[in-house]
Amino acid sequence: MSDGKLSRALWEIPIPAPPDAEERGRRIVAAAFAERKSGRSELWGAMTPPTSEGRSGRPIARLALGLGIATLLAALLLSPAGAAVRDWVGDVVETSAPKPEPELARIPGGGRLLVQSAAGPWVVQPDGSRRLLGDYEEATWSPRGLFVAAAEGRTLSAVEPSGTPHWSLTAAARVSDPRWAPAGERIAYRSGAELRIVAGDGTGDRLLARATAPVAPAWSPSGDAGLAYASGDGRLRIVNSETGEVLATAPALPDLFRLEWGAGGAAILETTPQALRLREVRARKVAPGPALGAGRMLPLPPGVSLTGAALAPERQAVAAVVTRWRDRGTTSEVLVFAPGAAKPRSLLTVPYSLGEVAWSPDGRRLLVAWPGADQWLFLPVGRGKPRAVADISTAFSPGERAASFPRLEGWCCVR
* Cβ 306 vs Cβ 272: under 8 Å: yes
CA distance linking residue 161 with residue 412, whole number of Å: 12
- 56 part of the interface to other proteins, by CB under 8 A: yes
Stretch of residues binding other proteins (CB under 8 A), selected from 8-16, 92-100, 218-226, 290-298: 8-16
Q: Which of 10/286 has CB closer to other proteins?
A: 10
Q: Which of 29/199 has CB closer to other proteins?
A: 29
Out of 99, 285, 383, 401, name the contact with other proteins by CB under 8 A.
Answer: 401
Nearest 5 degrees, angle CA 195-CA 406-CA 369? Answer: 100
Out of 107, 369, 393, 408, name the contact with other proteins by CB under 8 A.
Answer: 393
In order, the DSSP letters of 51-66 are T---SS-HHHHHHHHH
Q: Which of 44/88 has CB closer to other proteins?
A: 44
- 30 part of the interface to other proteins, by CB under 8 A: yes
Q: How far is the CB of 220 from other proteins (least distance, A)?
A: 32
Q: How far is the CB of 8 from other proteins (least distance, A)?
A: 9
CA distance linking residue 74 with residue 63, whole number of Å: 18
- Residue span 58-77 as binding mask against other proteins, x where in contact by CB under 8 A, dash where not: xxx--x--------------
Q: Is the dihedral of CA 173, 242, 311, 122 positive or negative?
A: negative
* Cβ 284 vs Cβ 291: under 8 Å: yes
Query: What number of chain residues touch other proteins (CB under 8 A)?
Result: 54
Q: How far is the CB of 24 from other proteins (least distance, A)?
A: 8
- 403 part of the interface to other proteins, by CB under 8 A: yes
- 405 part of the interface to other proteins, by CB under 8 A: yes
- 25 part of the interface to other proteins, by CB under 8 A: yes
Stretch of residues binding other proteins (CB under 8 A), selected from 203-211, 316-324, 381-389, 403-411: 403-411
CA distance linking residue 168 with residue 321, whole number of Å: 35
| Dihedral, 140, 141, 146, 149 alpha carbons, nearest 10 | -20
Long-range contacts from 63-67, C-beta under 8 angstroms, 24+ separation:
64/351, 65/351, 65/373
- 237 part of the interface to other proteins, by CB under 8 A: no
* Cβ 221 vs Cβ 261: under 8 Å: yes
- 3 part of the interface to other proteins, by CB under 8 A: yes
Q: Which of 26/40 has CB closer to other proteins?
A: 26
CA distance linking residue 236 with residue 292, whole number of Å: 9
Q: How far is the CB of 349 from other proteins (least distance, A)?
A: 20
Nearest to 313 by CA among 281, 267, 351: 267
Stretch of residues binding other proteins (CB under 8 A), selected from 34-42, 163-171, 335-343, 359-367: 34-42
Q: Which of 9/341 has CB closer to other proteins?
A: 9
Query: Which residues ranging from 337 to 376 are in contact with other proteins (CB under 8 A)?
Result: 371, 374
Residues in the chain: 415
- 173 part of the interface to other proteins, by CB under 8 A: no
Nearest to 400 by CA among 123, 5, 8, 16: 16
Q: Which of 12/87 has CB closer to other proteins?
A: 12
Stretch of residues binding other proteins (CB under 8 A), selected from 10-18, 185-193, 197-205, 240-248: 10-18
- 34 part of the interface to other proteins, by CB under 8 A: yes
Q: How far is CA 35 from each of CA 41, 82, 257, 275, 351, rounded to the nearest angstrom?
A: 7, 20, 17, 12, 21
Q: How far is the CB of 25 from other proteins (least distance, A)?
A: 4
- 9 part of the interface to other proteins, by CB under 8 A: yes
Q: How far is CA 94 from each of CA 86, 345, 384, rounded to the nearest angstrom?
A: 12, 10, 11
* Cβ 97 vs Cβ 333: under 8 Å: no
Q: Which of 15/342 has CB closer to other proteins?
A: 15
Q: Which of 330/349 has CB closer to other proteins?
A: 330
CA distance linking residue 280 with residue 264, whole number of Å: 11
- 51 part of the interface to other proteins, by CB under 8 A: yes
Q: Give the H or E element holding residue 166.
A: strand 165-170
* Cβ 179 vs Cβ 409: under 8 Å: no
Contact residues for other proteins (CB under 8 A)? Answer: 1, 3, 6-7, 9-18, 21-22, 24-26, 28-30, 32-34, 36-37, 44, 47-48, 50-60, 63, 371, 374, 393-394, 397, 399-405
